[in-house]
Each structure stands twice: as structure tokens, then as C-alpha cells.
């Protein structure tokens, strides 16, 4: 794994997090407890800060970055960032599923409890509403979903990734 400071800012990673051997975490990155960063994922806090809550999983090939001096990235608790997704200079609240290959661009706000479908592109300044599914290019709200379904599915995936991480420790 590559974990290194940039401009005097060191990544802060609790001991209970799993970081894959070929993941990269650099610069001003603060992670919560029980997070996992999977194979080939990159979390690059070189141009602005990246803050992550508890039980965040950054799946294989995902990239988390920010925009120089203007758009940091803040991620809440219980967030799953799917394989090859890009999360860039945005705010993600709690209990969010970001689907495989999706992109969340600068200055977006993703409220708690939505799902961003695989392959969706959430364009700059979009607000993703709680309890809904966003899909397409550009991503649009396609339907509302029950709090039970949203919370159940998002919670299941986040908990599964805590379990998967335990297999590698």
C-alpha cells in the first residue's frame, strides 16, 4: 500500500480499518472507524481535504479526490462506494450506496439514504434527494424508495464489507 504525506499532511487511518496492499492514500485524508479501502483504490488528499466517517468502504478501483482550494470531499457514515466509482469534490451524507462505475462530481450534495445507480453521472452542483434512486447520464431521480428498502440494502452492503475486511486481517 502507498500511504504518504503531502505538504506535511499525513493520512489519519484508525487501526481497525482494512487497507489493501495496492491501495493508495495520500495527503489530508481522515478516515473513521471500520473503513475499508480495497484493491487499486485511490484516495488522494493532495489538493484539498478528504474526510470519511465510520464504516465507509471504498471498493476496488474507486477514486476519491477533490478540487484545488475549492471543493473538498466529505463522506458520512455507512457509505459504500462501488467498484471503479469516482467521488470528486462533493459531500456525501450518511447511509449512501454509490453504484459501480458511477461518477459524483464537484459540489454535489448527496443527502442521506439514496442510491446512485451503477454507471450514473451526477453532474456538478446536483443535489441527490434522500430516499431516492438516481440513474443515467446525467443522473436524474428515477424513483423514490421506501426507507426500509434503502436502509436495509445500504446497511447490508456496508456490514458485508466490514465482514469481508475481517477476512484479510
DSSP codes joined into one string, 104-145: E-TT-EE-SS-EEPTT-EE-TT-EEPTTEEEETTTTEEEEE-
What phi and psi, each to the nearest 5 degrees, are found at residue 161? -70, -30
Quick check: 35 pLDDT over 90? yes
Query: In terms of pLDDT, which residue wins out, 51 or 154?
Result: 51
- The pLDDT of 65-92, averaged and rounded, is 97
pLDDT digits (tens, 9 = 90+) for 110-166: 999 999 999 999 999 999 999 999 999 999 999 998 888 777 888 889 999 999 999
Pairing assessment for the beta strands 132-135 and 140-144 based on DSSP bridges:
antiparallel
pLDDT of 1 > 90? The answer is no
Binned at pLDDT 50, 70 and 90, residue 91 comes out as very high
Residue-range domains of the chain with CATH = 2-168 (2.160.10.10)
Amino acid at each position: 500500500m502507498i500511504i504518504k504525506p503531502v505538504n506535511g499532511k499525513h493520512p489519519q487511518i484508525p487501526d481497525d480499518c482494512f487497507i489493501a496492499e495496492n491501495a493508495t492514500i495520500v495527503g489530508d485524508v481522515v478516515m473513521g472507524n471500520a473503513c475499508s479501502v480495497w484493491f487499486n483504490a485511490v484516495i488522494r488528499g493532495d489538493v484539498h481535504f478528504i474526510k470519511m466517517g465510520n464504516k465507509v468502504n471504498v471498493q476496488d478501483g474507486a477514486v476519491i479526490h477533490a478540487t484545488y482550494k475549492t471543493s473538498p470531499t466529505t463522506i458520512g457514515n455507512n457509505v459504500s462506494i462501488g467498484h471503479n466509482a469516482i467521488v470528486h469534490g462533493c459531500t456525501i451524507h450518511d447511509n449512501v450506496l454509490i453504484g459501480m462505475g458511477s461518477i459524483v462530481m464537484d459540489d454535489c450534495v448527496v443527502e442521506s439514504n439514496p442510491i446512485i445507480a451503477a454507471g450514473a453521472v451526477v453532474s456538478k452542483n446536483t443535489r441527490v434527494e434522500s430516499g431516492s434512486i438516481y440513474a443515467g447520464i446525467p443522473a436524474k431521480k428515477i424513483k423514490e424508495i421506501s426507507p426500509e428498502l434503502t436502509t436495509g440494502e445500504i446497511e447490508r452492503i456496508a456490514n458485508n464489507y466490514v465482514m469481508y475486511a475481517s477476512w484479510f486481517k
